[in-house]
Structure 1
Amino acid sequence: MKPVRKAVFPVAGLGTRFLPATKAFAKELLPIVDRPLIQYVVDEAREAGIEQMIFVTGRGKVGLEDYFDVAFELETTMKSRGKSLDVLQPTRSNPGSIASVRQQEPLGLGHAVWCARDIVGDEPFAVLLPDDLMVGKPGCIAQMVEAYNKVGGNIICVQEVPKDKTASYGVITPGASDGRLTEVKGLVEKPKPEDAPSNLAVVGRYILQPEVMQVLDEKETGAGGEIQLTDAMAKLIGTQPFHGLTFEGDRHDCGDKTGFVIANIALAMARDDVAPAIRAFVADLR
């Protein structure tokens, strides 16, 4: 069983829900307190032992690569003023540890993952959707890698959602359960509540075997006329081990303004340096 060394980050989206802020830079660079969203997911991958980060980008997303590069002018100026560079350490990456490919057309999540096929090669790989901010100790991907090391195959992160929200997610047909692991018997993308096989929804973390790229290579379209990753994964069920892991921690959907603001508040309230002032402000609002 090969280890999970690579992770794919689909970051080609235009971020239209956050216009006009995202007119000039990637939505993944919007800050949660004082770190951009992309930093949280890259740190999560690093914690899990991921060695290579693969960004699937689009036009206007070069800022993501610049963020993880060495900012020579900035660091030189800070040094000359006697300021510590520790705050920049998480933004540094080892040479070759970050790669990027272009998704030239917005053809769906499955297509975005497929664009990374040549870098992924014949290895299992993780997929992290930056819109889903997962907060836990250990992190979500670390929990999934631990499960992968036990059962192998494909692991997807699942979460219970209200029945009336299933049309917004991929939903699993559950089989036998063992603690937080649930066997996946089937997958369907964005089912109507009356058609959903369960209320266990797939949320933005995956560990997949490289054979999924062969399925995606067929370029079959699904819900919304897009190439759906869920549909490709469904074709692997029965041929490889397939499990859903219920994540121990909190998930914040930063793909919309409400979830983004809530994530900022939640993470700020967990920090000793800013939480007291925020609590005082909120108390004054009552």
Structure 2
Amino acid sequence: MKVRTAVFPVAGLGTRLLPATKSIPKEMVTLIDKPLIQYAVEEVIAAGIERVIFVSARSKRALEDHFDYSPELEYQLEGNNKNELLEEMKRISEMCDITYVRQKNPKGLGHAVLCARDAVGREPFAVILPDDIIMSKTPVTAQLIEQFNQTKKSVISLMEVPEGDTSKYGIVVPGEKVNDRLMRLEGMVEKPKENPPSNLAIIGRYILTNEVMDALENIPRGAGGEIQLTDAILEVAKQSRVYGYHFEGKRFDCGNRFGLFEAAVNFALEREDMREHAMNVIKGMQI
């Protein structure tokens, strides 16, 4: 029952970040000096994940190249005695084992996860949406795995959102509390237009059992004519148990320009090599 595998659905077009994503995958958009996808992969590795599965599309070759060796670049860095950069490039290439699966037709997030079924096998697995970058002392994936190890059931990450923003998220129907942060879920509503059941929104980190894969194979198409991951999780919640965990950390929606900017400011202020410069820039602004 150990969680060894993380599935990254990365086949989307990233239209919220156009025109930047016209020629590069949205996951390769840079947050300070690293692409979004690298932050997410580093998170799962820090949580003990051993294997990563990218469910990608034809236009996502740059993802493969980023985590591959670049002999020409390494040769140039070595020749110029840029040893620290050379070691960093090697670290990225040796970060973890990555399997690539194609989602040939865009049929929704649930369909993207289902595309990874053969690669995942019958084990529990994580699902990571790399648009969501989360700053936390303990990786959110590690927090969820800890809860899964206790419950042996699917656990999804939750975050409180303002009532006016509930229509932008999947919102859960909270049930019995297990502790201050963990609760059993009675249901969930995708982007409720009115009367949301709570202000707890589903965020892009999940630990799922194979029950969810079984449900994805059998549920009808949902909103937008797509196979929805939320629908499959809801079906499992009805038949068995699913838990929600109010994670510790600050989440940034880097799938849009405002979230990306907010993340850049916060991450710059957290980094020792950038904090002083960032503070000087902020102090020098005429606002």
Report the CA distance between 1:215 and its aligned residue: 1.4
One-letter amino acid of the counterpart of residue 199, structure 1: N
- Provide the residue aligned with 1:182 in structure 2: 183
2:28 corresponds to which residue? 29
Once the two structures are superposed, the pairs formed by residues 7-156 of structure 1 within 5 Å of their partners are: 7-84=6-83, 85-93=86-94, 97-156=97-156
1:35 positional shift: 0.8
Aligned mates of 1:90, 1:254 — CA distance in 2: 24
The residue type paired with residue 285 of structure 1 is M
Identify which range, 231-240 or 153-162, moves more after superposition: 231-240
Aligned length: 283
Q: For residue 201 of structure 1, what is the aligned residue in structure 2?
A: 201
2 CA distance for matches of 1:39 and 1:72?
20
Which of 85-94 and 75-84 deviates more?
85-94
Question: RMSD across aligned C-alpha pairs, in angstroms?
Answer: 1.4
CA distance in 2, matches of 1:93, 1:110: 29
Q: Give the Cα–Cα distance (whole angstroms) in 2 for the partners of residues 122 and 110 of structure 1.
A: 17
- Quote the Cα distance in structure 2 between the aligned partners of 1:171 and 1:254: 20
TM-score, normalised to structure 1, is 0.95
Shift in Å, 1:23: 1.9
Q: Distance in 1 between matches of 2:231 and 2:262?
A: 31
Where 2:282 maps in the other structure, the secondary structure is helix
Using the TM superposition, give the Cα deviation of residue 224 of structure 1 relative to its aligned residue in structure 2, in angstroms: 2.5
SS at 1:59 equivalent: coil
Taking the aligned partners of 2:113 and 2:65, their CA distance within structure 1 comes to 22
Structure 1 range deviating more: 55-64 or 239-248 = 239-248
Asked whether the 8 Å contact 1:152–1:241 carries over to 2, the reply is: no
Identity of aligned residues (%): 47
CA distance in structure 1 between the partners assigned to 2:129 and 2:170 by the alignment: 14
- The answer as to whether partners of 2:233 and 2:242 remain within 8 angstroms in 1 is no
Q: CA deviation at 1:219?
A: 5.2
Residue 182 of structure 1: how far off its partner (Å)? 1.2
Contact 1:170/1:187 (8 A) holds in 2: yes
Contact kept in structure 2, 1:170 and 1:202, CA below 8 Å: yes
The answer to whether the 8 A contact 1:41-1:128 is kept is yes
Q: What are the superposed Cα offsets for residues 37-68 of structure 1, whole Å, 9 maximum, x if unpaired? A: 00110011001111110001112101101111
1:218 offset after TM fit, Å?
2.6
In the alignment, the residues of structure 2 paired with residue 169 and residue 147 of structure 1 have an alpha-carbon distance, to the nearest angstrom, of: 23
* SS of corresponding position for 2:21: helix
Tell me how far 1:193 sits from its aligned partner. 2.8
TM-score, L = length of structure 2: 0.95
Query: Aligned equivalents of 1:265 and 1:22: distance in 2?
Result: 21
Q: What SS does structure 2 have at the residue aligned with 1:8?
A: strand
Equivalent residue letter for 2:246: T
Please list the CA deviations of residues 5-52 of structure 1 after superposition, one character each: whole Å capped at 9, or x if unmatched: 011101111122222222221111111111110011001100111111
1:214-270, CA deviations, whole angstroms, 9 ceiling, x for partnerless residues?
A: 211135222232211001100001433311111111100001110011111110111
Please list the CA deviations of residues 95-137 of structure 1 after superposition, one character each: whole Å capped at 9, or x if unmatched: 7x10011111221111111111110111100000001001111
Q: Give the partner amino acid of 1:235.
A: E
> Do the aligned residues in 2 keep the contact of 1:153 with 1:208 (CA within 8 Å)?
yes
- Do 1:111 and 1:219's aligned partners in 2 also have CA atoms closer than 8 Å? no
SS at match of 2:268: helix
Q: Partner letter of residue 227 of structure 1? A: I
Q: How is 1:223-234 mapped onto 2 (pairs within 5 angstroms)?
A: 223-234=223-234
Q: For residue 265 of structure 1, what is the aligned residue in structure 2?
A: 265
Counterpart amino acid of residue 46 in structure 2: E
- Distance apart, 1:280 and its partner CA: 1.3
CA deviation vs aligned residue, 1:189-213 (integer Å, no higher than 9, x gap): 111232x211111100000011211
Q: Which consecutive unaligned segments of at least 5 residues does structure 2 have?
A: none
**Cα distance in 2 between the residues matched to 1:94 and 1:139:** 17
Distance in 2 between residues matched to 1:240 and 1:67, nearest whole Å: 40
Letter in 2 for 1:192: K
